[in-house]
Amino acid sequence: MSRRKRNERNEIHIVLHFKLLKKVNEVKYLRIIMDNKFKFIEHITYADEKCTKLIYSLSKSAKNKVDTST
């Protein structure tokens, strides 16, 4: 044991059906976005943006549907 840093390879080459798989930082699986450290920050950001757009469109639609003839 020592404090010296080891020179380790960070890249691993994985071959599946004679094709090299490339490393990605995030993956979407069953509508859930996970990053390489299994944190869901990217998924939460995506869901937040989607909900914000939905709320905006619903509020805009509700303003158009208000009856002003009363």
Distance set, CA 12 to CA 22, 23, 31, 46, 51 (Å): 9, 9, 27, 29, 37
Distance, CA of 9 to CA of 60 (rounded, Å): 53
pLDDT of residue 17: 93
Q: Are 40 and 46 in contact (CB under 8 A)?
A: no
In the block, tokens 């757009």 appear at: 53
For residue 13, the one-letter residue type is: H
pLDDT digits (tens, 9 = 90+) for 4-57: 777 776 777 889 999 998 888 888 889 888 888 888 889 999 999 999 999 999
Length of the chain (residues): 70
Residue 62: which pLDDT band, with cuts at 50, 70 and 90? confident
pLDDT of residue 49: 94
Question: Per the confidence metrics, is the pTM higher than 0.75?
Answer: no
